[in-house]
């Protein structure tokens, strides 16, 4: 294992950077792609915040999911690939196809490059959005046998993640040529932010700390990003992970108001602005008429999004931190990095 090289796509991403930290810690050499090498210094700064001085064990290469250039060179000599990059919405998407095509094509580019470079296995960072969306209400938690129902109410981003993961499994079956695939499907990813460019899910905690007026009736499972990275490494090398999907969820789901109450209880003055008022569904629907950013949460109001991470524990020995630890690590990192307007 020691000194094998791993390609991590999308090195500017939150999960990708924690995967890089875990790989360096485990003794691997890492190559990571960036759409623009101008972000190299930012990535290195974030890795330093995470406790790593990679030196010559980390290298950067320019590659964009929307073009073929660079992918063959990126994958060359890599034993494994962790594919966490996903096309970033530019704001110009007017059709669903503008989301779906880049996500599907991007996955296929990376898989082709990995196959041609004779990598052993690709670990795909998929999403809970490929599992738990568009379904009628149910009594059991979501698990890896579920796929989002694209005939239901599914946002374009979640549709793109579903179709991109399906296309990846189809590619392996049809033309994988011995390349192995495993997928990790994280629920809401929390944990320590490394810098000001953090993931969408961390905004959930930031908005509460910044004093949003209350809590919509939104339900979610959470998982610490360090445990998501650990699961990627297990899925990369464990023989039992070949051809499998793994939901990353730490315990049962929580309502947003429960998260707000935990912050109040544990953070003291740091949570002075956190509101534990529950906002009624009609109010959110009304706000969504004027605020496009809120439209996406309307289909999720009152929906139980419970999911099970038992498969990863059973098959791979995965032991995630508690939900509470993931939530508090997020809040404490945002305060430590000066990224929220909380009283000191």
Tokens of 195: 């810098």
Instruction: Give me the catalytic one of 161, 242, 295, 313.
Output: 161
The predicted structure's pLDDT at residue 88: 60
| Calpha distance 282→136 (Å, rounded) | 21
Q: With contact defined as beta carbons under 8 Å apart, do 245 and 307 qualify?
A: no
The predicted structure's pLDDT at residue 342: 61
The predicted structure's pLDDT at residue 206: 95
When pLDDT is cut at 50, 70 and 90, the band that residue 237 belongs to is very high
C-alpha angle 116-122-128 in degrees, rounded to nearest 5: 140
Q: Which residues lie below 8 Å from residue 146, measured CB to CB, with a gap of 6+?
A: 131, 132, 135
* Domain spans in the chain, listed from the N-terminal domain onward: 5-199+222-250+306-321
Q: What is the pLDDT of residues 155-212, one digit of tens each?
A: 888 889 999 999 999 999 999 999 999 999 999 999 999 998 878 889 999 999 999 9
Q: How deeply is 305 buried, as exposed, middle or buried, from its count of CB atoms within 10 A (0-12, 13-18, 19+)?
A: buried
Q: Above pLDDT 70, what percent of the chain?
A: 96
| Residue 264 bears catalytic tag | no
Q: What is the pLDDT of residues 268-286, one digit of tens each?
A: 999 999 999 999 999 989 9
The predicted structure's pLDDT at residue 90: 55
The predicted structure's pLDDT at residue 92: 55
The predicted structure's pLDDT at residue 59: 97
Q: With contact defined as beta carbons under 8 Å apart, do 247 and 311 qualify?
A: yes
Tell me the chain's radius of gyration from C-alpha atoms. Answer: 20
| Phi, psi angles (nearest 5°) of residue 261 | -65, -35
Q: Which residues lie below 8 Å from residue 18, measured CB to CB, with a gap of 6+?
A: 50, 191, 194, 225, 226, 228, 229
| Calpha distance 121→308 (Å, rounded) | 25
Q: What is the pLDDT of residues 36-95, one digit of tens each?
A: 999 999 999 999 999 999 999 999 999 999 899 999 999 999 999 999 888 765 555 556
> Would the pTM count as exceeding 0.75?
yes
The predicted structure's pLDDT at residue 303: 85
Q: Is the pLDDT of residue 314 over 70?
A: yes
Q: What is the pLDDT of residues 119-165, one digit of tens each?
A: 999 999 999 999 998 888 877 899 999 999 998 888 888 889 999 99
Q: Is the pLDDT of residue 308 over 90?
A: yes
Q: What is the mean pLDDT of the chain?
A: 92
The predicted structure's pLDDT at residue 294: 77
Which CATH number describes the domain made up of 5-199+222-250+306-321?
3.40.50.720
């Amino acid at each position: 294992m020691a000194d094998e090289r791993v390609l991590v796509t999308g090195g500017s991403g939150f999960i990708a950077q924690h995967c890089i930290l875990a790989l360096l810690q485990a003794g691997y050499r890492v190559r990571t792609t960036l759409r623009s090498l101008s972000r190299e210094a930012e990535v290195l700064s974030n890795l330093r915040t995470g406790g790593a001085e990679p030196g010559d064990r980390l290298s950067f290469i320019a590659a964009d999911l929307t073009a073929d250039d660079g992918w063959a060179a990126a994958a060359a000599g890599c034993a494994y690939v962790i594919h966490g990059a996903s096309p970033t919405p530019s704001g110009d998407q007017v059709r669903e196809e503008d989301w779906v095509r880049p996500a599907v094509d991007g996955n296929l580019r990376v898989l082709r490059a990995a196959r041609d470079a004779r990598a052993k296995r690709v670990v795909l960072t998929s999403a809970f959005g490929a599992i738990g969306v568009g379904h009628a209400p149910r009594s059991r938690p979501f698990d890896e046998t579920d796929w989002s129902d694209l005939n239901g109410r599914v946002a374009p981003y979640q549709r793109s993640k579903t179709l991109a993961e399906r296309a990846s499994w189809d590619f392996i079956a049809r033309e994988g040529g011995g390349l192995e695939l495993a997928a990790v499907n994280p629920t809401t990813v929390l944990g320590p932010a490394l810098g000001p460019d953090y993931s969408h899910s961390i905004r959930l905690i930031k908005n509460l700390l910044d004093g949003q007026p209350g809590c919509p009736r939104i339900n979610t499972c959470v998982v610490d990003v360090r445990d998501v990275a650990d699961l990627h490494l297990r899925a990369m090398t464990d023989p039992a992970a070949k051809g499998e999907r793994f939901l990353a969820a730490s315990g049962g789901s929580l309502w947003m108001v429960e998260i707000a109450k935990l912050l109040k209880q544990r953070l003291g003055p740091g949570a002075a602005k956190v509101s534990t008022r529950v906002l009624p569904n009609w109010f959110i629907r009304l706000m969504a008429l004027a605020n496009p950013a809120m439209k996406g949460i309307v289909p999720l109001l009152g929906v139980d999004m419970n999911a099970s991470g038992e498969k990863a524990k059973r098959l791979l020995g995965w032991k995630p931190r508690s939900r509470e630890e993931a939530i508090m690590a997020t809040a404490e990192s945002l305060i430590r990095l000066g990224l929220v307007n909380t009283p000191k």
